[in-house]
Amino acid sequence: MEKAIATIPGVETVAVVARGETLRGKGIIAYCTLTPGKSLNQEEIQTACFEILPRRAIPDRICILEALPLLPTGKVDLQKLVDTATSVNKNK
């Protein structure tokens, strides 16, 4: 799923996390960074996902970040992404 979303023009990096529950199971959140100079919003990325992913793999939410949080090893810090989603939901 991450590789497919990363093929969307303007999307630079992607990390996907399953979070919470939806009618179809775990909620899918895709965290994206954009290619410098590109301007995309969540709706545009979501629409592109419908064109390239099976329906069951479409993220429930798209979050655009300036950078993905990294661990000292250079891998994406998925726990920080989950914490980010939790704090955003509390502020709504």
Average pLDDT, the chain: 88
The DSSP letter of residue 42 is: H
Proportion of the chain in helix, strand, coil states, percent, rounded to 5: 35, 30, 35
Higher pLDDT, 42 or 56: 42
Helix (H) / strand (E) element for 84: namely helix 78-91
Is this model's pTM higher than 0.75 or not? yes
Angstrom distance (rounded) from CA 32 to CA 38: 12
Angstrom distance (rounded) from CA 8 to CA 23: 27
Split at pLDDT 50, 70, 90, the class of 84 is: confident
pLDDT of residue 19: 76
Whether the CB-CB separation of 11 and 5 falls below 8 Å is answered with: yes
Residue 22 has pLDDT above 80, yes or no: no
The DSSP letter of residue 23 is: T
The highest-level CATH class for domain 2-91 is alpha beta
